Amino acid sequence: MRIAFYSAKSYDRDSFNLYESQFGHQITYFEAKLDKHSTSLAEEHEVVCAFVNDILDKQVLKKLKSRGVKLIALRCAGYNQVDLDAAKEFDLPVVRVPVYSPEAVAEHAFALLLTLSRKTHKAYNRVRESNFSLEGLTGFNLHGKTFGVVGTGAIGRAFCKIALGFGGKVLAYDLFENEEMNSLGIQYHGIKELFSKSDIISLHCPLTPETKHLINGEAIQHMKDGVALVNTSRGALIETKSVIKALKNRKIGYLGIDVYEQEEDLFFKNLSEQIIPDEQISRLMTFPNVLITGHQAFLTKEALGQIALTTLNNISEFEDGKNLTNQIG
């Protein structure tokens, strides 16, 4: 099938080109983000392959349908960017990659946490300038801390296991308890109780209307003073203005985020020569106890390979008229 591949980066090309010949599809790579202005690029393509910050609202889906697109293939797990009701109305099946490498994201969450806890980013910059002073680099142990994990899907479970390996006590919150987690001694609690008991909170739940701004002013009031908060899931789980306030009054002691609620016009771009108009992320970057990465938690060779294989297989299932294993809705 002919695939219009939006928001393409070099690492996307490398991973998909590796497997493209095995499936017989024809991929056209576009650097442009999918939105109402770029739907014309999908002309003469049967499939649109989209990523997390591509826009798939009703207007875009209608235009894609009129241009002959038959399938929306997301190369990501989340699908909050898709108007599923409109997709159904226009008879556009939507498939995704529900699991690629849970360990990739969980390990990145710990990379953020370890960097914040031991200030290795600051030490690296000092040593490059021949400054070997240890002043201001005092950190804290992860061993013995209480980890609160919100969401025990594949990524959340991988995070829990790593936390146990560090000698932490792990609490979890999910709408459905996982038997494997119970067997490992992980205790499920209500969300407020988890907030109040955790030294470190890591978010691993999807973005839904119910979870949007899960971390808000009220939620933060239930947390311990100096709590460490990590988000590698979806940016809008956090209400940024409330977190900034909590950083200023030291209620939140550390913040590590790989996602941001207004990342759509920021992440995956080189803006080093531009003035960033987003005042909230600019403010976040001024805090010495905040670490931000640009949605790279998924970015490992293993994860990219699995994303490519699953996406191409999803498209082949559609082409062959088979049941769509990873269809949404």
Q: Is 248 helix (H, G, I), strand (E, B) or coil?
A: helix
54, 33 Cβ separation under 8 angstroms: yes
Give the type of residue at 149.
Answer: V
**Does the annotation mark 143 as catalytic?**
no
Mark whether 263 is an active-site residue.
Answer: yes
**Structure tokens that stand for 292 in this block:** 């931000």
Tell me 40's DSSP state: G
- Catalytic residue list contains 37: no
Closest CA to 290 of 230, 219, 213, 222: 230
With CA atoms as reference, report the closest residue to 238 among 271, 266, 202: 202
**Active-site residue, selected from the candidate residues 46, 108, 234, 317:** 234
How does DSSP classify residue 7? S
Q: Which of 157, 239, 295, 317 is catalytic?
A: 295
Q: What is the dihedral of CA 135, 141, 142, 143, to 10 degrees?
A: 170
The residue written with tokens 């306030």 in the block is: 245
| Residues classed as catalytic | 234, 263, 295
